[in-house]
Structure 1
Amino acid sequence: MNTNTQFIVNDQSIELVRFPKQHPKSSLQAWDAADEYILNHIEALGLDAPLSMAIINDDFGALTCALAQYNPTVFSDSYMAHCGIRENLSRNKLPSISTYSAQDIAGQDTCFDVVIIKVPRTLALLEQQLIDLQNCIGPNTIVIGGAKVKMVTSNAIALFSKYIGETKTSLAVKKARLIFATAASSDNEAPVYQSPYPTLVTDPNVAFTLYNHANVFCREQLDIGARFLLKHLPNTSGHCIDLGCGNGVLGISLLQQNEQATVTFVDESFMAIESAKLTLQNALGEEAKQRAEFTLSHCLEQLIDANASKADLILCNPPFHQQNVVMDDIAWQMFTDAKKMLKPGGELRIVANRHLDYPEKLKRLFGGCKVVANNPKFIILSVFQNQ
């Protein structure tokens, strides 16, 4: 039995894999102590089905698979999380369950009996989700948050208290803690809060306003890596892919600089795609919008599977973490997918932290690597698809 994939909790044995799949020798698991703590607490409550349950921010499906008998409604801003949940449900021969973007929480017309929230790394995302929950919980709703101890901060607890109601926390078990919140009763109604997102950002290096929804990386200022790459954008009149587009600053700048260019914006975050759309809508005219497409995808899988048109240029500011784990797996797949999606002679141009070993990886993959520019923190690398 592979102990890295076998999740045993409350007399259930569930086979769980991370998405994307890790190297067979990887020690990373598709669940954590907070998942186990939440499920043990749910078991102790002795809940009877049927009931309406929402699960928010389930990374790979540990909660969804273990609670499948309740047919939960599942929300996540991560397309990769959706893929992981579907894969693990299928792996355990469990019925399929509908998954929704985090932004779909606000549109629910159900008053949930139980809401389970894995506390995300980004407090702004937690804030947006708690605001959106206001319309679909009541005083009898059981609201449970859970995370590693270091993430159950006073700021996270304060958000539950502000947007839900009276909030308490559990003792720590295996370095995880739970948060319990109770919505105000009708006799003591809580105020209805409006979302402070998207955040609007202006920067002297960008000729338009950036719109950042709650889960967009570096949402309060222009990302410094992107700022550096903006100074070294190639001039192209062809087709470009903005891979891991975030708010779309790179691709929109390219559209603005060259009236012949077309750009496909790709990200695995629903909020990032919506931010890029909103930024483009407010930055450029109707003609420029006709030169843009938006795709939700894990790296470039969706474009590859759809046999989409290959690119003359791919721009990328790759991440070096997945959820709370520092790793270069996602960046490596971005590079390998880029190789599949570039035209002969097409260019992949990336900006990355100097300490990462991307130059060596790119040399292995493309046969060569050129340093376009560097500064004390970042390096801009360029590689070309073989003719």
Structure 2
Amino acid sequence: MTSIDAPDLFAQLRREPDVEAPELVAVDATDRLLLDEAADSLAAGPDAVAVVDDSHGALTLGAVVLHGAVSPRVTTDLLLGELALAANAERTGQAGTYRLLPLGPELVRGATTVLAKAPKGLDALRQLAEVVAADADPDVTLFVGGRVKHMTRAMNDVLAESFTEVRASLGRQKSRVLVARGPRADGASSFPHCREHTELGLTVCAHGAAFAGPKVDRGTQALLAVLAGAVPDAATALDLGCGTGVLATALAAARPGLRVLAVDQSAAAVASAQATAAANGLTDRVTVVRDDAGSSIPEGTVDLVVCNPPFHAGVAVDETVAHRLFEGAARVLRPGGEMWCVFNSHLPHRQALTRIVGPTRQVTRNPTFTVTASTRR
């Protein structure tokens, strides 16, 4: 085991290429508490460790450097978190010390310790618990850490669906860890969940961490209501930050001659969009890729971009996270192409769209949501 200590390791970690802001950090109190709570479990099985949704590498690198974990298996839903982990591993001399895998049986098979940052939604926690209970070692211990203000009793109840024993650690620096043992081996994960929306003529499928689940959120509904008027002669369209792929699937269903691309940095969103396209018989018409803000799309090749951008970075509200998507749209749009965007009406996105993409007009507006169309200069 290396002689480096936690302060030395954590001081080297950065968020880049993720969003940087004064209130956002690469290592938080939850990371530290998780590693401390799991110390005995890590020592007992250093070669049987899995890490889920390590924000920027503190859990993975902490397990390796501070607790001697050997080649932990890691999954990170957000691509920027995965890239930050890689950059931090390189920075600290730990490149190649972990393995990236998707959330599924191979990630947790034989694992006796699973470290996870608490997801925002209960369905994401449910899917994690189902995967661990179904495929990890029978003696596995699942440690789920989060900020106390974001944790609820319902999280304990969700974990209890898949484990016989669930307890909470003492709180420290406004963080707490839920510890689950005794997996109930009731079978494979129940995800994705799918729901038919007869009013839209679509079936929507969602993995646990996908925004809105199999529902269609109100912002997407507002954009769907005017989508027929979005660049009617477009040959190529991009659903940027596609989530469950509702906009991409709706475009493909309504316009048989349109080539539709869908991208998102969330692995859960990509899997969900693929499942939604399949449920609607459109896998040959909708191409789904995991990338950062359209980085996989060649410059100036798209006629229409549709987008329902996020306004959170993790659990922190940050309206500027949408700007990364606006910049991506500006790069991939052809001159004269348009970005159709929906956002909460109180947000100053119209000014940002005008500055980043081009002249922006209001398509529709109500007290809650605004839809705009921006023309690439």
The answer to whether the aligner puts 1:227 opposite 2:224 as a matched pair is no
Q: TM-score, normalised by structure 1?
A: 0.87
Contact 2:205-2:214 within 8 A present in 1 as well: no
- SS of the equivalent of 1:355 reads coil
Distance 1:294 1:139, change over 3 A: closer
State the 1:49 CA deviation. 6.8
Alignment of 1:67-216 (within 5 A): 67-68=63-64, 69-70=68-69, 71-96=71-96, 97-102=98-103, 105-108=104-107, 110-183=109-182, 190-216=184-210
For the residue of structure 2 that corresponds to 1:352, the secondary structure is strand
Q: Which moved more, 1:309-318 or 1:141-150?
A: 141-150
In structure 2, what residue type is equivalent to 1:243? L
For the 8 Å contact 1:237–1:258, the answer to whether it is kept is: no
2:238 to 234, 238, 241: 241
Which amino acid counterpart does residue 150 of structure 2 have in structure 1? M
Matches within 5 A, 1:247-258: 247-258=244-255
Structure 1 residue corresponding to 2:280, chosen from 280, 283, 291: 283
8 Å Cα contact 1:52/1:112 also seen in 2: yes
Q: 1:365 to 1:309 in 2, by over 3 A?
A: closer
User: 1: distance between equivalents of 2:193 and 2:126?
Assistant: 13
1:3 alignment counterpart:
none
- Cα distance change, pair 360–274 in 1 and its aligned pair in 2 (3 A): same
Amino acid at match of 1:116: L
Query: How many residues were matched structurally?
Result: 366
| 2-structure distance, mates of 1:86, 1:163 | 32
Counterpart-to-counterpart distance in 2, 1:145 and 1:109: 15
Q: Secondary structure at the match of 2:94?
A: coil
Which residue of the other structure, out of 14, 32, 40, is the alignment partner of 2:36?
40
* Counterparts of 1:40 and 1:88, CA distance in 2: 21
Q: Deviations over 1:27-61 (max 9, x none)?
A: 42112211111122344668167421111111111
Which of 267, 270, 274 is the equivalent residue of 2:267? 270
Deviation of 1:64 (Å): 0.9
Q: TM-score, normalised by structure 2?
A: 0.90
Identity of aligned residues (%): 26
What SS class does the counterpart of residue 233 from structure 2 fall into? coil
- 8 Å contact 1:14–1:65 — kept in the other structure? no
Matched with 1:28 is 24
Q: Using the TM superposition, name which of 354-363 and 213-222 deviates more.
A: 213-222
The equivalent of 1:260 in structure 2 is 257
Q: Deviations over 1:142-199 (max 9, x none)?
A: 3322111123321111222221221211111101111222216xxxxx3515544322
CA contact (8 A) 2:263 2:289 kept: yes
Matching residue of 2:291: 297
Give the aligned partner of residue 368 of structure 2: 377
Distance 1:192 1:46, change over 3 A: closer
Deviation at residue 127 of structure 1 after TM alignment: 0.5
Paired residue type of 1:112: A
Determine the structure 1 residue equivalent to 2:336: 345
Give the counterpart of 2:319 among 302, 322, 328: 328
Partner SS state of residue 67, structure 1: helix
Q: Say which is worse superposed, 339-348 or 159-168, in terms of deviation.
A: 159-168
Cα–Cα, structure 1 residues 46 and 353, in superposed 2: closer, same or farther, change >3 Å? closer
Letter matched to residue 92 of structure 2: N
Gaps of 5+ in 1: 1-6, 185-189
Provide closer, same or farther for how the CA distance between residues 355 and 91 of structure 1 changes in structure 2, counting only shifts above 3 A: same
SS at match of 1:275: helix
Offset of residue 208 of structure 1: 1.9
Mark the CA change 1:51 to 1:315 in structure 2 (over 3 Å): closer, same or farther. Answer: same
Change (3 A) 1:270 1:12: closer
Q: Note if contact 1:10-1:40 (Cα within 8 Å) is conserved in structure 2.
A: no
User: For the structure 1 residues 50 and 219, does the alpha-carbon distance in structure 2 shift closer, same or farther, using more than 3 Å as the test?
Assistant: closer
